[in-house]
């Protein structure tokens, strides 16, 4: 497994010129919505939604608006993937696998939770199908469960983008001359500079930030 990971990471690092972008996202509204729906989710679906499930949906919707970040380079041509399949990096003993949720832009949150739970469980037990590992068109890599504020992520070839997610932390800020607190997370976007220019990457990240900070509008259909 380490040989395969090493080979693919070297292929990505040495063949695709990476460029990185970061933004801080206020998470309080999203955390409130997630906490509010947890009891009903567990009662109705026997599933517990995570913050990652909402991020998967938000990223998928964003990729529909920015198809170049859902594309790959083949020889001298850029090809947009037929579907939006969000890969989620999962740590396993001695390595990392990236199963993907197919057509995540078309799924409700409940179905995303169901698929994510199933894929992660089977990733850790070594029971994924090859199709589930190869169908990803964009990847999310989250270290939010660790004391890691932000990090750069290497592209998962042949994809043109990957989003890194740091831990959600409390931050002090000033509003109307009053000191307040909020919860923020740093998102990092790595892109293949052969396909995606800086301005487009910044627009993608700005749009994603807006979707996460205004979840009542983004996730009207749960």
- pTM for the full model? 0.93
Q: Please report which confidence band the pLDDT of residue 221 belongs to, taking 50, 70 and 90 as the band edges.
A: low
pLDDT-derived band at 22, boundaries 50, 70, 90: very high
**Distance (Å, rounded) from C-alpha 205 to C-alpha 189?**
7
Residues 6+ apart with CB under 8 A from 135: 85, 100, 102
Q: Strand 90-92 vs strand 95-97: parallel, antiparallel, or unpaired?
A: antiparallel
Q: How would residue 4 be classed by pLDDT, with cut points 50, 70 and 90?
A: confident
| Number of CB atoms found within 10 A of residue 151's CB | 16
The Cα 108–Cα 114 span in angstroms is: 10
H or E element that contains 139: strand 138-142
pLDDT digits (tens, 9 = 90+) for 62-103: 999 999 999 999 988 999 999 999 999 999 887 899 999 999
Contacts of 34 (CB under 8 A, 6+ apart): 49, 50, 51, 54
pLDDT, residue 85, reads: 98
Inter-residue contact 99 to 132 (CB < 8 Å): yes
Paired tokens of 61? 């919707």
Give the residue numbers annotated as catalytic, written as ranges.
Answer: 193
Is the link from the previous residue into 158 a cis peptide, with omega within 30 of 0? yes
Sequence-separated (6 or more) residues with CB below 8 Å from residue 198: 19, 21
Using a 10 angstrom Cβ sphere, with 0-12 exposed, 13-18 middle and 19 or more buried, the burial of residue 27 is buried
């Amino acid at each position: 497994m380490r040989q395969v990971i090493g080979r693919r990471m070297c292929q990505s690092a040495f063949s695709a010129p990476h460029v990185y972008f970061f933004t801080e996202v206020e998470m309080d509204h999203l955390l409130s919505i997630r906490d509010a729906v947890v009891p009903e989710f567990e009662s109705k679906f026997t599933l517990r939604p995570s913050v990652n499930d909402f991020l998967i949906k938000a990223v998928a919707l964003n990729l529909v608006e920015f198809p170049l970040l859902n594309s790959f380079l083949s020889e001298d041509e850029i090809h947009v993937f037929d579907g939006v399949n969000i890969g989620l990096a999962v740590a396993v003993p001695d390595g990392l696998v990236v199963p993907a949720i197919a057509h995540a832009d078309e799924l409700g949150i409940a179905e995303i939770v169901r698929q994510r739970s199933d894929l992660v469980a089977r990733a850790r037990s070594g029971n994924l199908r090859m199709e589930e590992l190869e169908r990803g068109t964009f990847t999310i890599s989250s270290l939010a469960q660790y004391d890691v504020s932000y990090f750069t992520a290497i592209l998962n070839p042949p994809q043109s983008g990957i989003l890194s997610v740091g831990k959600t932390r409390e931050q002090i800020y000033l509003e109307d001359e009053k000191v307040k607190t909020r919860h923020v997370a740093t998102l990092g976007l790595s892109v293949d500079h052969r396909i995606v220019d800086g301005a487009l990457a910044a627009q993608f990240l700005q749009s994603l930030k807006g979707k996460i900070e205004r979840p009542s509008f983004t996730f009207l259909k749960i």
